[in-house]
Amino acid sequence: MEKLFSKEKNNSEYYLPAIQSFANNYKKRLKFIEYHLKREDYIFGTWKAILIPKKDGEERPLIIPNSINDKIVLKAIST
Dump pLDDT digits (tens) for 19-60: 788 888 899 999 999 999 999 999 999 888 889 999 999 999
The helix or strand, by DSSP H or E, that contains position 50, with its residue range, turns out to be strand 47-53
Q: Is 31 part of any domain?
A: yes
Q: Is 3 part of any domain?
A: no
Q: Is 56 part of any domain?
A: yes
Q: Is 32 part of any domain?
A: yes
Q: Is 5 part of any domain?
A: no
The more confident residue out of 75 and 21 is 75
pLDDT attached to residue 21: 81
Count of domains forming the chain? 1
Question: Any bridge partners for residue 62, and if so which?
Answer: 50
Distance CA 42, CA 32 (A): 10
Of the CA atoms within 13 Å of residue 15, those in its CB half-sphere come to: 13
Mean pLDDT of 4-9: 42
pLDDT attached to residue 14: 54
Would you give the DSSP letter of residue 69?
Answer: H
Parent domain of 41: 16-78
Query: pLDDT at residue 4 above 60?
Result: no
Query: pLDDT at residue 66 above 90?
Result: no
Q: Is 52 part of any domain?
A: yes
The helix or strand, by DSSP H or E, that contains position 37, with its residue range, turns out to be helix 26-39
Q: Is 43 part of any domain?
A: yes
